[in-house]
Amino acid sequence: TAFEYKDGKRDRHEREFLGFGEVITKNLDTENGNSVYRQAVENYDVANYYTQGNVTATSVEDANGNKYTETKNRYDSYYLTADGDKYTFAKRDVNLWSDRASAFVPLRYTANLQYEGAANGVVTSEAWNEYYLNGYHGELKSYKYSDKGSLGENGNGKFDYATAIKYTDNATKHIFGLPVDVTVTGGDGSLYHHVTAKYNTNYANHITQITQQLNDGAAVTDYKYDSYGNIIQKTLPANGKGQRMWYKYRYEPEMNMYVERIDDAWGYRSEQGNFDYRYGIAKEHRDLNNFYYETDVDDLGRITGVRGPNELATGVPYA
């Protein structure tokens, strides 16, 4: 494999290297004088500081540059201003140039094409993204997917399915972007999938309930947390008899972050302890069948040995 780099750019104003505009990974035929038989080409936006690193296109080609497949990406550009947690987005259709402005450059459209020797590619799939803007924080609002080749860069064409997302927040704690409702509908308007969620919004990541809508009801999963933010119980959806499987988690008392015991609704449990806190690795274990085994680690956190029930009982290493 050989690599070729092109169109590198250094922004003299920002005094920063923005990367290479094109990177080519060449697969070489070692039995034919290292001639190129296939290459992967990646193109990047290096126009300015705000868009640096955005992938604009990728393709797989033969040695002569004839494409087999290609992916194209299109982005939107916005200048962003904030009044506390209230954001305002101003669309920009030209290059972003500013000494002080903040910018938001989200992916709007992706198209995958197949060439296979033809001069013009055939669109095999497309995806289009829409975002919450003014009054929000750039969260993904909707997503459309199509394998019909007619969705288009503006997302106005036919699609196979669309996903719509709603969010909640706790502005007093500056917590935003918690998804609470995800709905997937088909191009004909049929409902494919609907999931809702609840949170303890005093914390940024405490989801307390997930509900998946079913034809004749709902599948509900519940979560409980301790004061450290660890999950201490997960209760799964009910079966046909209304019974719900649950798992309870207990954590070691030193760091309060590593699980030392798991119990379930059937009365089974597994345990681990004697943690090497440098790496968070437990050196003693007891499984669901009440079998005990030990793990050794070196000073780099690598496992150097495991002793199971037989070895511990006989004192003889496995051979």
- In sequence order, what are the residues at sequence separation of 6 or more whose Cβ sits closer than 8 angstroms to the Cβ of residue 30? none
Q: What does the alpha-carbon distance between residue 220 and residue 246 come to, in Å, rounded to a whole number?
A: 12
Q: How many CB atoms lie within 10 A of CB 226?
A: 13
Give the residues of the chain that fall short of pLDDT 70.
318-319
Length of the chain: 319
Closest CA to 230 of 206, 247, 265: 206
Read off the pLDDT of residues 81-122 as tens digits, 9 standing for 90 and up. 999 899 999 998 877 888 888 999 999 999 999 998 788 999
The residues pairing with 305 across neighbouring beta strands, listed in sequence order, are 296
What's the sign of the alpha-carbon dihedral 200, 205, 208, 209? positive
pLDDT for position 317: 74
Q: What is the pTM of this model?
A: 0.86
